[in-house]
């Protein structure tokens, strides 16, 4: 699979990341087949979070991949912390204890990347910095990033945190593309002009922070998949036409749309289906034309001024 450099780091990663949020829907055998099919197809970057499946997703993954030193060196592991029941928590104590739990469940002694999952209103940047320093110096975490953060929140963290923030994982799909459409509709009176994220897309590009789009096939907040969905007839017609031209499935084209953006993003996919996993990986070989990219953008109801 094609690779990219994650943020300002030297970490070379596949352009498609495998999300493990739904791995607890598989039985032991299915989970083994899933992770090994991913590896055989060059998808060796796995995204986790301490709270996926209440921690069981990390355990199921470690068992399925049969974690040992050789396997560990051949994969890239990212996990997240900071979400607790009914609250967010970026306290030093919580970050440190979360990472210990993650490492135990993943059966490893280090994470390649740790992300702060969702902004904590009570976050103290100095405390986060202390936690990151401890995690880095102990070798438990090699790189750091955030998720669902806006530019000011990242700047605030960076006031204290000395490690580079190399990724920002954000919700982004063809049908959930306000971070793109607000940049196209600057200063217009239409709804698409509403800037909901403080121009996070351009901020991340400016600061070499790799955006990892999450839920690349969903519309709304986990409302469902837009592909093959009768709520999006024009979009599906357009994607199907383009898929036919490239002789691939609709899944491949939907992901190729994100990969065509010059921000050089690394989408995090969530399928647990082997054939869809391969369709996603194929997107790495397809470069949509400018015309195709804008046709898909408009067919989803996104507007140009
Ligand atoms: N940072 C955050 O706040 C955050 C939030 C949510 C998720 N995430 C990360 O992002 C990853 C992806 O999220 P997601 O699972 O919501 O993303 P997704 O890839 O948009 O959705 C995957 C789901 O859609 C289904 N699906 C149905 N038809 C599909 C098709 N044609 N192509 C692809 N999928 C299809 C899949 O079912 P099948 O399994 O049957 O294919 C699966 O249940 C997660 O695993 C997690 O790592 C991060």
Kindly write down the DSSP assignment for every residue of 219-287, as one continuous string.
ETTTTEE-TT-TT-HHHHHHHHHHHHHHTS-HHHHHHHHHHTSTT----EE----HHHHHHHHHGGG--
- Given this model, what pLDDT does residue 246 score? 98
What pLDDT, on the 0 to 100 scale, is given for residue 214? Answer: 98
Give me the number of domains the chain comprises.
Answer: 1
Please tell me whether residue 81 adopts helix, strand or coil conformation.
Answer: strand
Whether 304 is in a domain gets the answer: no
Closest residue to atom 31 of ligand 1, CA basis: 251
Give the pLDDT score at 17: 98
Q: Quick one: pLDDT at residue 105? A: 98
138: in domain: yes
Q: What CATH code is carried by the domain that includes residue 256?
A: 3.20.20.100
Residue 210 gets the label, from left (phi > 0), alpha (psi -120 to 50) or beta, of: beta
Nearest CA to ligand 1 atom 47: 19
Task: Identify the residue whose tokens are 């607000």.
Answer: 182
How many angstroms is it from 24 CA to the middle of ligand 1? 13
The ligand 1 atom nearest the CA atom of 269:
19
Residue 218 CA to ligand 1 centre (angstroms): 7
In-domain check, residue 264: yes
* Residue 277 CA to its chain's centroid (Å): 15
Domain that holds residue 27: 3-299
pLDDT tens digits for the chain (305 residues)?
Answer: 999 999 999 999 999 999 999 999 999 999 999 999 999 999 999 999 999 999 999 999 999 999 999 999 999 999 999 999 999 999 999 999 999 999 999 999 999 999 999 999 999 999 999 999 999 999 999 999 999 999 999 999 999 999 999 999 999 999 999 999 999 999 999 999 999 999 999 999 999 999 999 999 999 999 999 999 999 999 999 999 999 999 999 999 999 999 999 999 999 999 999 999 999 999 999 999 999 999 999 999 999 99
305 is a domain residue: no
Please report whether residue 259 resides in a domain: yes
Q: Report if residue 172 sits inside a domain.
A: yes
* DSSP assigned state of 8: T
> In sequence order, what are the residues at sequence separation of 6 or more whose Cβ sits closer than 8 angstroms to the Cβ of residue 182?
192, 193, 194, 195, 196, 197, 199
Cβ 148 under 6 angstroms from ligand 1: yes
State if pTM tops 0.95.
Answer: yes
How confident is the model at residue 194, as a pLDDT? 94
Residue at 18 is within a domain? yes
Is 112 part of a structural domain of the chain? yes
């Amino acid at each position: 699979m094609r690779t990219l450099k994650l943020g300002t780091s030297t970490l070379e990663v596949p352009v498609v990341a495998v999300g493990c949020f739904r791995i607890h829907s598989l039985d032991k055998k299915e989970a083994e087949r899933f992770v090994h099919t991913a590896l055989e197809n060059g998808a060796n970057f796995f995204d986790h979070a301490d709270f996926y499946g209440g921690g069981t997703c990390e355990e199921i993954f470690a068992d399925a991949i049969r974690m040992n030193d050789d396997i560990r060196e051949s994969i890239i592991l990212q996990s997240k912390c900071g979400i607790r029941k009914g609250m967010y928590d970026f306290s030093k104590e919580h970050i440190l204890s979360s990472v210990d739990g993650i490492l135990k469940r993943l059966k490893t002694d280090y994470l390649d990347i740790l992300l702060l999952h969702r902004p904590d209103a009570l976050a103290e940047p100095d405390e986060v910095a202390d936690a990151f320093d401890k995690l880095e110096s102990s070798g438990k975490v090699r790189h750091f990033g955030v998720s669902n953060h806006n530019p000011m929140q990242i700047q605030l963290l960076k006031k204290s945190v000395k490690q580079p923030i190399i990724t920002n994982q954000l919700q982004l799909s063809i049908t959930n593309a306000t971070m793109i459409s607000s940049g196209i509709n600057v200063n217009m009176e239409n709804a698409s002009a509403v800037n909901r994220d403080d121009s996070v897309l351009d901020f991340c590009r400016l600061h070499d922070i790799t955006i990892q789009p999450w839920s690349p096939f969903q519309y709304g907040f986990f409302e469902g998949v837009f592909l093959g969905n009768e709520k999006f007839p024009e979009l599906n017609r357009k994607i199907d036409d383009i898929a036919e031209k490239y002789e691939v499935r609709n899944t491949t084209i939907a992901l190729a749309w994100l990969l065509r953006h010059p921000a050089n993003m690394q989408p995090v996919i969530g399928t647990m289906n082997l054939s869809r996993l391969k369709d996603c990986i194929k997107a790495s070989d397809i470069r949509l034309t400018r015309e195709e990219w804008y046709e898909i953008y408009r067919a989803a109801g996104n507007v140009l001024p």
